Structure 1
Amino acid sequence: MARHAVDLGLGPGRPGRSTALINVLGSFLIGLVAALATRGIVDGDLRTVLATGFLGGFTTFSAASLDVVERTEQDGRAVGMRRAIVVPVAAVAACAVGLWLGSR
């Protein structure tokens, strides 16, 4: 449902952007939840439910992989490779920010 809401919010014809946004946002939130669990603000069971349940289902690497292949086929290798590099780097950076923010 949450993925669908993001797709609807970004409007039609933007599946790649919604997948990228979902993966980056989900990575940020997983980092935040992990940090809050480390601080004892979120208990271990809730961390498991949020990180592996909700956020694990929210972010989908398989959808991101498909997006890279489709972008490569539709728009050329440069566009596909840019997507393959930018989204994972942004997702890891967002996760680090979530961890940092949650540890404050």
Structure 2
Amino acid sequence: MEGEHVRRGEAAEASALDRSGAGPARHPGNAVSALLDVAVGGALGALARWLITAAMPGAQGGFPWGTLLVNLLGCLVMGFLAAYLIKGRSPRFARPLLVTGYLGGFTTFSHLIDGTYSLGHDGAWGDGLGYAAVSVVGGWIAILVGLWAGGRTPHRNPGGAP
């Protein structure tokens, strides 16, 4: 059952990446517009991450609340977009811009590792382990909630037809 869902998702992604309308789907790296979508999305996502983490408590040291928030939000949105974009015909730029670009720049595994290390290095091993556990378990929960919400959100096809 789960394997079939993944195969349907991969087929939907391949179909969305096929810009010619006929023939096999092309890899998004072959399309200059897809590269620009990823670059713009990545820049916007990284900027949003920086603004959020700079504004959160612990930005100058202490518990990395901003990184935790950003990664959990990113997982929630990733789950939502995965379910929503697979359900219907979405604009071709949606996946490269929003998923690969924006969420790739917005979420950050490297800061998760750095925050865990910093907390442990400062003697707060319990906080470091708790932060890592909440990040991973909370991320999975956020993805599942996003998948659930995205699967239940009505999809409007281009042209206004439901």
Normalised by the size of structure 2, how large is the TM-score? 0.58
- Runs of at least 5 residues in structure 2 that lack an aligned partner in the other structure: 1-46, 153-162
How far does residue 3 in structure 1 lie from its aligned partner after superposition?
0.8
Larger RCO, structures 1/2 (Cα 8 Å, 6+ apart) = 1
Give me the identity figure in percent: 33
Could you list the structure 1 runs, at least 4 aligned residues long, displaced by more than 6 angstroms after superposition: none
Structure 2 residue 83 is the aligned partner of structure 1 residue 28: no
Correspondence for 2:66: 18
Kept after mapping to 1: 8 A contact 2:63/2:119:
no
Kept after mapping to 2: 8 A contact 1:22/1:59:
yes
The 1:41–1:94 alpha-carbon spacing in structure 2 relative to 1, beyond 3 Å, is farther
> Of the two, which has the highest radius of gyration?
2
Q: Match for 1:47 among 86, 95, 117? A: 95
* More helix, by proportion: 1
Distance in 2, matches of 1:88 and 1:102, equals: 21
Q: Match for 2:132 among 67, 72, 84? A: 84
- Runs of at least 5 residues in structure 1 that lack an aligned partner in the other structure: none
Correspondence for 1:95: 143
Correspondence for 1:63: 111
